[in-house]
Amino acid sequence: MDNESLKLKVAEYTAKVEKASAKFPERKNLEYNRLYTPLDLEGQDYEKDLGLPGSYPFTRGVQPTMYRGRFWTMRMYAGFSTAEESNKRYRYLLESGGTGLSCAFDLPTQIGYDSDDIISEGEVGKVGVAIDSLADMEILFDQIDLAKVSTSMTINAPASVLLAMYIAVAEKNGIGPEKLNGTIQNDILKEYAARGTYIFPPKPSMRLITNIFEYCSKNVPNWNTISISGYHIREAGSTAAQEIAFTIADGIAYCEAAIKAGLDVDAFAGRLSFFWNAHNNVLEEVAKFRASRRVWAKIMKERFGAKNPKSWMLRVHTQTAGSMLTAQQPDNNVVRVALQTAAAVMGGTQSLHTNSKDEALALPTEASVRVALRTQQIVAYESGLADVVDPLAGSYYVEAITNQIEAEALKYIQKIDDIGGAVVAIEEGYIQREIQDSAYKWQKEVENNDRVIVGVNKFQIEEKPVEGLLRVDASVGELQKKKLADLRAKRDNAAVTAALAKLEAACGDDSVNLMPIILEAVKTYATLGEICGVMRKVFGEYQAHATL
Amino acid sequence: MEKRVRVLVAKPGLDGHDRGAKVVARALRDAGFEVIYTGLRQTPEQIAEAALQEDVNVIALSLLSGAHNHLFPRIVELIREKGMTDVLIIGGGVIPDADIPVLKAAGISEVFTPGTSTTTIIDYIKENVK
C-alpha cells in the first residue's frame, strides 16, 4: 500500500472508530493516539535516527551486545541505622546475587552535619546510614572487596568528602584508586530543583564538581564522577519529557562548567552517567530511554564537539518509581515494580534498583527487598525481555513517541538555553514551577478520577494496618554520638586542626583542586561535619526561594 | 466579611521531599484558604515563630524522613508555649499506622498518609478549624 492509499484507509478507520468510541468517554482522551501506522514514521531515517546498538546516536543502546553480553547491574539501594547494620545488609544483598552496592545515607550525612549536631536530632540513621567519619566508612565496607564490587553512593553536596573516604578505605586495604569502580551522584542542580539536599550556593558547588571530574580523570579513571539525575525530578512530579529535558539541561551546565575550568570535553565526558525513573506507562518509558540517548549523543557530538564515542554515550542507572507505590494494598506494588522493571530493561538500562512493596510505608524489610531483587532476576532469566537488543525498535508506536518525547525535550532545552542555562533557570524558579504544575495536574487527575490508581481511587477495600514494617531504633542517634565522642578523644586533634586550616585556605583559592586536600583531611579522621563546616564558612549556604 | 482561614504549610527537619507539601498548599489555596509555605529545612523553633508572626489558624506539617516522632511533638509543644492554644495542627507524610496514636496523643489532630485526597484534608480543616 502506498502512503496516499494508507492515508485514506486511516482516515476511514478514524471516522469509524471516533463514532464507536463515543460510547467509552473514559478511554477517549488519553495521552497518545489510539493507533500508529507507518504514516507516523514518515521521514525517519534508520541510519541517522536509530543506527545499530553501540553506535551513534545510540537510540538502540550504548553497547553492541547489550544483555546478550551481560545483564544490567542489579544494584539495590540500601542503608539505614549504623554502619554496622548497613554492612550486614550489603553483605546479605551480595550473597543473594546482587551485583553492585548502592549506599543510602541519612539526611545529616547528605547535608554535611555530624550526628551530634543539634539539627540532626531525630534524623540520624533514618533514611540511610549515618556516616560521620572515615571510622564509620571502614565499618560500612568491612569484609567487602572494593577491588571487585562497584559501589554507587547517593551523595551530592558532600560527594567529594564521601568519595575521599571511599578512596581512603580502599587504600587501607591495599587497593589503589585506579582499581575502584562506582558512582557518586554529585548532581547538585537537581538538588536545588527537586531533591533538597543542597548545602552551598551554585558557584562553589560547580567548582567542587569540576574538581572531582579533574581529580578522577587522573586518579580514579573508572569512577563515574556524576549521576545526572532525572529520577528525583520525575518523583517531584514531572512528565517523562520534562524528566529527560531538565536533566540533560543540567548535564549541559556541568559540561560548560568543566570546559570553562579548562578541561577537555573528552577527558571527562566518558565518565558522566545518568539516572532515570522507571514509571508506570511501560512503552512511554521505553521511548523516553531511547529518546534520551539520541538527544545526549547529538548534544555531545554537535554542541560540545566531543570526538571520543564514549563521550556521546548516555549510560544510565534506573530506579523504579517510588512515588507510584501505594500505601493501599501494598502487595499490588510487586506488580507495578515488575512492569517498571520490564520498561527499564526494554529501555536498555545499565543498572537497576527495584523498589520494595512496603516503601510507601517505611524502609523495606529484608524479605520485601528479596522479592524486589527476584523481580529483576525473573525479568532477566525467565521473561525473554533481555534476549533481544532493543526489542521494540520498529514499533510504529514506540518509534513515534520516541520522536515525540525527543522533540518535546529539545523544546524545553531550547527554552532553558534562552533563559541562560540550567543554573539560571533554577535560580529563577522556572524548572521548579514546571515540575510543580505537572505534579498538581497529576493530583487533580487522580482526584477527578480521570486517572485511575488501583486501590487508591478505584477498587479500594477495607484494610488492616500492615504489620512487620522495618523500624529504625531511636537509639541510633545516641550510639553515633558516643562513637563521635570517642573518636574526638582518640584521634590526633592537632593533625585534624592543621588539615582543616589547609582546607579553609584552599577553599578561598579557586585555582586549587580541593580533592587531594579533602582526602588528607578525611585521613586524619576529621568528621564530615567539620569538613563541611569549613566549606560552609568560606562558601556560604544556598538560600532557596520557596515557590508555590 | 468572614476572615479567611490562614494555613502554614511547613517542612520540619532535613527532609527534601516537598511534592506533597506543595500540592497540598496549592489545593488549599484553590479552596480559598490563605496559604503560607515555609520552604525546606525548618527547625521547630522557626515553624513556631512563623506561625505566630503569620497569625495562622492551621499548621500543616509534612515529613517523609521518619523523624516525625521527634519533630511533630516538639512543634506542638512550642506552639502551645507561645500561647497559640486553638491553632489546629495536622501532619502528613510517610507515617506508619503504629505512630499515629502517639502523634495524636502529643497534640497532632489528624495524620494524613499517602493516597489521601486533598479534598479530605480541605474538608477536615473546614470542620475542625476554630
Q: What CATH number is given to the structural domain containing B60? A: 3.40.50.280
Residues of B in contact with A195 (CB under 8 A): 16
Query: pLDDT at residue A26 above 80?
Result: no
Provide mean pLDDT across the span A281-289: 98
Cβ separation of A546 and B13 shorter than 8 Å?
no
Angle between helices A159-172 and A528-539 (to 10 degrees): 140
Question: Strand B88-93's sheet: what is its strand order?
Answer: B34-37, B6-10, B58-63, B88-93, B110-112
Q: How far apart are CA A86 and CA A91, in angstroms?
A: 9
CA distances from residue A212 to A89, A96, A185, A271, A481 in whole angstroms, order as listed: 29, 33, 12, 11, 30
Residues of B in contact with A440 (CB under 8 A): 22-23, 26-27
> Is the distance from CB of B35 to CB of B7 less than 8 angstroms?
yes
Distance of residue A329 Cα from the nearest chain B Cα, in angstroms? 11
Cβ separation of A548 and B29 shorter than 8 Å?
yes
Pick the residue of B8, B9, B11, B19 with the most A CBs within 10 A to test the interface with A by mutation.
B19
> Is the distance from CB of B45 to CB of B17 less than 8 angstroms?
no
Q: How confident is the model at residue B2 (pLDDT cuts 50, 70, 90)?
A: low
Top-confidence residue, A474 or A131: A131
pLDDT of residue A18: 87
Cβ separation of B17 and A196 shorter than 8 Å?
yes
Query: pLDDT at residue A29 above 80?
Result: no
Q: How far apart are CA A477 and CA A539, in angstroms?
A: 28
Cβ separation of B70 and A122 shorter than 8 Å?
yes
Cβ separation of A439 and B38 shorter than 8 Å?
no
Residues of A in contact with B119 (CB under 8 A): 447
Q: Where are the beta strands (DSSP E) in A133-186?
A: 150-153, 181-184
Distance of residue A178 Cα from the nearest chain B Cα, in angstroms? 34
| H helical segments located in A229-325 | 231-235, 240-260, 265-268, 282-298, 309-312
Which residue type is seen at B53? Q
Distance of residue B93 Cα from the nearest chain A Cα, in angstroms? 9
Q: Is A475 in CB contact (< 8 Å) with chain B? A: no
Read off the C-alpha cell for A507: 577553599
> Is the distance from CB of A208 to CB of A162 less than 8 angstroms?
no
Cβ separation of A548 and B25 shorter than 8 Å?
yes
pLDDT of residue A546: 80
A504: left (phi over 0), alpha (psi -120 to 50) or beta: alpha
Q: In this complex, which of B19, B35, B114 lies closest to A327 when CB atoms are compared?
A: B114
> Is the distance from CB of B84 to CB of B52 less than 8 angstroms?
yes
> Is the distance from CB of A408 to CB of A241 less than 8 angstroms?
yes
Query: pLDDT at residue A100 above 90?
Result: no
Q: In this complex, which of B15, B19, B38 lies closest to A546 when CB atoms are compared?
A: B38
Q: In this complex, which of B17, B26, B94 lies closest to A361 when CB atoms are compared?
A: B94
Residues of chain B with pLDDT > 90: what percent?
96
**Using the 8-state DSSP alphabet, how is residue A81 labeled?**
B
Q: Is A196 in CB contact (< 8 Å) with chain B? A: yes
- The helix/strand count (H/E) of chain B reads as 5, 5
Phi and psi dihedrals of B66, rounded to 5?
95, 0
Q: Is B102 in CB contact (< 8 Å) with chain A? A: no
Residue A62: strand, helix, or coil: coil
Provide mean pLDDT across the span A246-270: 97
Q: Is A472 in CB contact (< 8 Å) with chain B? A: yes
Provide mean pLDDT across the span A47-59: 97
Q: How far apart are CA A82 and CA B28, in angstroms?
A: 39
Chain B residues 15-74 within an 8 A CB cutoff of chain A: 15-19, 22-23, 25-27, 29, 35, 37-41, 43, 65-67, 69-71
Provide mean pLDDT across the span B56-72: 96
Q: In this complex, which of A110, A126, A546 lies closest to B67 when CB atoms are compared?
A: A126
Q: How far apart are CA B30 and CA B14, in angstroms?
A: 28
Instruction: Give the nearest chain B residue to A440 (CA atoms).
Output: B23
Query: pLDDT at residue B80 above 70?
Result: yes
Angle between helices A515-523 and A528-539 (to 10 degrees): 140
> Is the distance from CB of B124 to CB of B27 less than 8 angstroms?
no
Residues 6+ apart with CB under 8 A from A349: A72, A276, A278, A289, A316, A317, A318
Provide mean pLDDT across the span B65-87: 96
pLDDT of residue A95: 92
Cβ separation of B19 and A469 shorter than 8 Å?
no
Residue A266: strand, helix, or coil: helix
> Is the distance from CB of A293 to CB of A57 less than 8 angstroms?
yes
> Is the distance from CB of A140 to CB of A103 less than 8 angstroms?
yes
Query: pLDDT at residue A97 above 90?
Result: no
Q: How confident is the model at residue A145 (pLDDT cuts 50, 70, 90)?
A: very high
Q: What is the ipTM of this complex?
A: 0.95
Is B77 contained in some domain? yes
Q: Is B116 in CB contact (< 8 Å) with chain A? A: no
Is B43 contained in some domain? yes
> Is the distance from CB of A189 to CB of A542 less than 8 angstroms?
no
Pick from B45, B116, B59, B41: nearest CA to A195: B41
Q: How confident is the model at residue A471 (pLDDT cuts 50, 70, 90)?
A: confident
In CATH terms, the fold of domain A46-68+154-447 is: TIM Barrel (3.20.20)
Q: How far apart are CA A491 and CA A293, in angstroms?
A: 48
Q: How confident is the model at residue A244 (pLDDT cuts 50, 70, 90)?
A: very high
**Using the 8-state DSSP alphabet, how is residue A129 labeled?**
B
Q: Per the structure, how many domains does chain B have?
A: 1
> Domain of B30?
6-128
Residues of B in contact with A472 (CB under 8 A): 66
Q: How far apart are CA A294 and CA A276, in angstroms?
A: 15
Cβ-Cβ pairs closer than 8 A, A with B, add up to 104
Residues of A in contact with B27 (CB under 8 A): 440, 443
CA distances from residue B8 to B32, B33, B64, B75, B129 in whole angstroms, order as listed: 14, 10, 18, 13, 13
Cβ separation of B22 and A235 shorter than 8 Å?
no
Q: Dihedral of CA A91/A96/A99/A104: which sign?
A: negative
Query: pLDDT at residue B1 above 60?
Result: no
Residue B106: other Cβ atoms inside 10 A = 15
pLDDT of residue A19: 86
Is B88 contained in some domain? yes
Q: How confident is the model at residue A548 (pLDDT cuts 50, 70, 90)?
A: confident
**What are the residue ranges spanned by the domains of chain A?**
46-68+154-447
pLDDT of residue B127: 97
Is B1 contained in some domain? no
pTM for this structure? Answer: 0.96
Pick the residue of A329, A332, A440, A442 with the most B CBs within 10 A to test the interface with B by mutation.
A440
> Is the distance from CB of A140 to CB of A101 less than 8 angstroms?
no
What is the average pLDDT score of chain A? Answer: 96
pLDDT of residue A175: 98
Q: Dihedral of CA A486/A491/A495/A496: which sign?
A: negative
Provide mean pLDDT across the span A430-439: 97
Chain A residues 451-470 within an 8 A CB cutoff of chain B: 453, 456-457, 465-466, 469
B107: left (phi over 0), alpha (psi -120 to 50) or beta: left
Provide mean pLDDT across the span B16-24: 96
Q: Is A175 in CB contact (< 8 Å) with chain B? A: no
